[in-house]
Amino acid sequence: MTNEAKVGLVVLASLVVFVATFLTVANVQLTGETIRYRTYFTYIGGLDEGSMVRYGGRKAGTIRTLQPWPEDMTRTEVVFDLRANIPVNEASAATIASLNALGQNYLEIEPGSIDAARIPPGGVVPSREALTFSDLTNKVADVADSAAVVLQRVDGKVSMVAEDLHVLLLNLQELTGEENQRNVAAMLENTNQFLETQSPKIDRVTTQISETLTKIDGMAEDFSRLAIDADTTVLNLNQTVDETREPLREGLAELNATLGKTQEVLDEARALLLVNEGNVTAIVENFRVASEEIAALSADLRQQPWSLLRVRPKPDRQVPPVGPTAQPSR
C-alpha cells in the first residue's frame, strides 16, 4: 500500500471519529422518544436550526425550525424537540442563554415548579426575552447619563462643602486666637475656683442624696412587707368569708322558715279574732263596767272606810252644852 493510500485512510478515519464525536457532543440526533414544543421570541439572538436546547443547564433536545409567526410577523416561532422524560410544565420559561461570554447562544428551558401542570405535546412554552448587547449598551448609556448628572450635583455639593469648611476654618482660627485663649484660660480658672469653693457643699449634697436613697430603699422594703401583709389579710378575709358563708346561708334559711311560721301564726290569730269578734267586744264591755264599778267602790271606801266593818254608820257624837246649866261631872 502506498503512502498516499495510508494518508487517505488516516484522514478518512479521523473524519469518521470527528463526525461521531461532533454528533455525540452536539447531540444533533436524539435517541429515544421525543416531544415537540413551540415558543415565540421577538429577538432569537443567533439561534439556528439544530441548535442545542438545554433544560436546567443540561442537554435535552434540539431546535427543528425557525420561521416568522404568521399571526405576528414581528415574532419568530421556534419549534424544538425535547426528550419525553423532560418535565416541561406551565411554570417553565424559554429564554436565550449562553454558557459563557464568548460561547454560542442556545435555547434554555427553565425547570419551573414541580407542582405546576405539565404542558401537553405540541403546546407552547412561555418565553422570556433575552437581554441583547444593544440593550446593555443602551442601559450603560443611560447609566452614564445619570452618572454625569449625579457628578454635576456632587460637584455643586462639594463646592458648597468646601466653602463651609473654609468658613469653619476661619471660625476655628478666630476661636483659637490669643484673646479667646485668655478668655478660655480665665473661664477654666474660675471653674477651678468654683469647684474648690463648692466641693464641700457638693459632698454634703451627695451624702444627703445617698442617705435619701437609703431611706427610699428602706421605705420600699416597708411597702413590700406592707403589700405582703395586705395580701395575707385579704387571703384570711377570703378564707373567713368562705368559712362563714355556709353557716350564714343556713341561718338565713332558718330565719326565713321562722318568719314563715310567724306569718302563719299571725294569720291564725287574725282569723281567731275575726271569728270571736263579738265575744271579745262583750268581754271588753264587761271589763269596762267592772272597771267603773271598781272605781265607784274605791271612791266609797275612800269616803266611808268603816263600811267594810259595819253596814250602818255610828251616830254622830253630841256636843255637850257650855254654861251654868251644864251638869257637873262626876
Q: What is the SS3 assignment for 160-189?
A: HHHHHHHHHHHHHHHHCCHHHHHHHHHHHH
Instruction: Give the pLDDT confidence score for residue 254 in this predicted structure.
Output: 86
Rounded Cα gap, residues 110 and 206, in angstroms? 75
Percentage of residues in the chain with pLDDT exceeding 90? 22
Report the b/e string of 241-272 with b at 16+ CB within 10 A: eeeeeeeeeeeeeeeeeeeeeeeeeeeeeeee
Instruction: Give the pLDDT confidence score for residue 11 in this predicted structure.
Output: 77
Q: In the block, which residue shows the cell 493510500?
A: 5
Name residue 94's beta-bridge partners: 109, 127
Please check the confidence at residue 59 and state whether its pLDDT lies above 50: yes
Sign of the C-alpha dihedral computed for residues 176, 179, 181 and 183 taken in this order? negative
**28: phi then psi, degrees, rounded to nearest 5:** -70, -45
DSSP-derived 3-state class of residue 94: strand
Q: What is the pLDDT of residues 16-49, one digit of tens each?
A: 777 666 665 555 444 568 999 999 999 888 889 9
Cβ atoms of 83 and 34 within 8 Å: the answer is yes
Rounded Cα gap, residues 62 and 46, in angstroms? 14
The arithmetic mean of pLDDT across residues 163-180, rounded, is: 77
Rounded Cα gap, residues 207 and 199, in angstroms? 12
The arithmetic mean of pLDDT across residues 100-108, rounded, is: 84
Q: What is the pLDDT of residues 245-284, one digit of tens each?
A: 778 788 888 888 888 888 888 888 778 777 777 777 777 7
**Which of the residue ranges 76-90, 166-180, 209-223 would you say has the lowest mean pLDDT?**
166-180
Please check the confidence at residue 198 and state whether its pLDDT lies above 50: yes
Cβ atoms of 94 and 63 within 8 Å: the answer is no
Task: Report which of 65, 61, 73, 75 is spatially closest to residue 28, judged by C-alpha positions.
Answer: 61
Q: Domain locations in the chain?
A: 31-130
Cβ atoms of 119 and 36 within 8 Å: the answer is no
- Confidence band for 164, pLDDT divided at 50, 70 and 90: confident
What is the phi-psi region of residue 270: left when phi exceeds 0, alpha when psi lies from -120 to 50, beta otherwise?
Answer: alpha
Cβ atoms of 78 and 40 within 8 Å: the answer is yes
Please check the confidence at residue 330 and state whether its pLDDT lies above 50: no
The arithmetic mean of pLDDT across residues 54-76, rounded, is: 92
Cβ atoms of 27 and 62 within 8 Å: the answer is yes
Cβ atoms of 66 and 49 within 8 Å: the answer is yes
Instruction: Give the pLDDT confidence score for residue 116 in this predicted structure.
Output: 92
**Which of the residue ranges 150-164, 274-288, 292-306, 311-325 would you say has the lowest mean pLDDT?**
311-325
Name residue 67's beta-bridge partners: 77
What integer best gives the mean pLDDT of the chain? 80
Rounded Cα gap, residues 101 and 98, in angstroms? 7
Instruction: Give the pLDDT confidence score for residue 106 in this predicted structure.
Output: 92
Q: What is the pLDDT of residues 211-229, one digit of tens each?
A: 888 888 888 888 788 888 8
**110: phi then psi, degrees, rounded to nearest 5:** -75, 140
Instruction: Give the pLDDT confidence score for residue 66 in this predicted structure.
Output: 93
Task: Report which of 96, 74, 86 is spatially closest to residue 37, judged by C-alpha positions.
Answer: 86
Instruction: Give the pLDDT confidence score for residue 125 in this predicted structure.
Output: 94
Helix then strand count (H, E) for the chain reads 4, 6
